[in-house]
Amino acid sequence: MQIDLAGRTAVVSGSSQGIGLAIATGLAGAGARVVLTGRSEARLRRAEERLRDTVPAAAVSAVAGDLTLAEGAEQLCEAVPQADILVNSLGIFGPTPALDIDDGLWREYFETNVLSAVRLIRAYLPGMTERGWGRIQNIASDSAVVIPTEMIHYGMSKTALLAVSRGFAKAAAGSGVTVNSVIAGPARTEGIEDFVYSLVDRDLPWERAQREFMREYRPQSLLGRLIEPAEIANLVVYLSSPQASATTGAAVRVDGGYVDAILP
């Protein structure tokens, strides 16, 4: 399958590292003009360099700003008023005992993982429907379906993204715009090592610590390993393509078989 996104502009939130950067790299490799976003200009510059190392001919730019705030979303939309592809990858995660999650932390996870995506969809969806083509994807998680006991606030936010995706897909019905969520499984990103070591013995070598984490905390995984960000990006690139025109309102899984169900 030859995916050609030449002439398309893709905005990827939370793309200075990890899954977001892998997605941006995959979209650039398919020919899209890619806009990286993040709070740190220095990290965005490094991300842009890494992307160009992988895709030398990439058309890539970066906009710094805090997308958890309305002002940050407005700043991005002023810099990039039109997008053909929107991937909401911005998110935070971290373990906290259920009864220790206070009101402020609940709000922080909702603001960051859910409302930041809603704001950008509201900004870019009207232009997509007017032009009769667009792709919106919200990066969810296996935690949306299998709520982890160590971070139910994170699971809540990702479950909400499934509802957001389905609802906006209905709002875009018949317009040529598709809206989907991607249920990503445990991935090998920059933040995961600290997370894993917060749950298993810090004296263990990384490969053994990873296996111990998967065995104890993610035993449902059929892969038995962390997923590479590029593996998630591959699905996102497909869902961003013309070939995925009949997939909308869906929760598509790239979770290594973690969710033990036929349907999400």
Catalogue all structural domains in the chain, each as residue range(s) with its CATH number.
9-186+227-254 (3.40.50.720), 188-226 (no CATH)
Q: To the nearest whole percent, how much of the chain has pLDDT over 70? A: 100
Residue 60 confidence (pLDDT) = 98
The pLDDT-based confidence of 190 (bands split at 50, 70, 90) is confident
8 A C-beta contact, residue 53 and residue 225: no
Residue 264 confidence (pLDDT) = 67
DSSP H helical segments within the chain, as ranges?
18-29, 41-54, 70-79, 103-110, 116-131, 152-171, 192-197, 206-217, 229-239
Give the global pTM: 0.93
8 A C-beta contact, residue 65 and residue 40: no
Q: Which residues contact 140 (CB under 8 A, 6 or more apart)?
A: 158, 159, 161, 162, 165, 181, 182, 183, 184, 251
8 A C-beta contact, residue 120 and residue 11: yes
The per-residue pLDDT for range 61-96, each reduced to its tens digit, is 999 999 999 999 999 999 999 999 999 999 999 999
Residue 191 confidence (pLDDT) = 73
Separation CA 137–CA 182 (nearest Å): 7
Pairing relationship of beta strands 33-38 and 9-13 according to DSSP bridges:
parallel
Is 154 one of the annotated active-site residues of the chain? yes
Catalytic residue among 124, 154, 197, 238: 154
8 A C-beta contact, residue 254 and residue 182: yes
8 A C-beta contact, residue 38 and residue 64: yes
- What are the CA-CA distances from residue 90 to residues 18, 142, 166, 206 (Å)? 10, 16, 19, 26
Separation CA 243–CA 240 (nearest Å): 8
Nearest to 165 by CA among 100, 51, 247, 60: 247
Q: Which residues contact 103 (CB under 8 A, 6 or more apart)?
A: none
φ, ψ of residue 245 to 5 degrees: the values are: -65, -20
Eight-state DSSP code of residue 252: E
Eight-state DSSP code of residue 17: S
The per-residue pLDDT for range 205-221, each reduced to its tens digit, is 988 998 899 999 888 89
Average pLDDT for 31-50: 97
CA atoms within 13 A on the CB side of 209: 16
Average pLDDT for 115-134: 98
Separation CA 212–CA 229 (nearest Å): 20
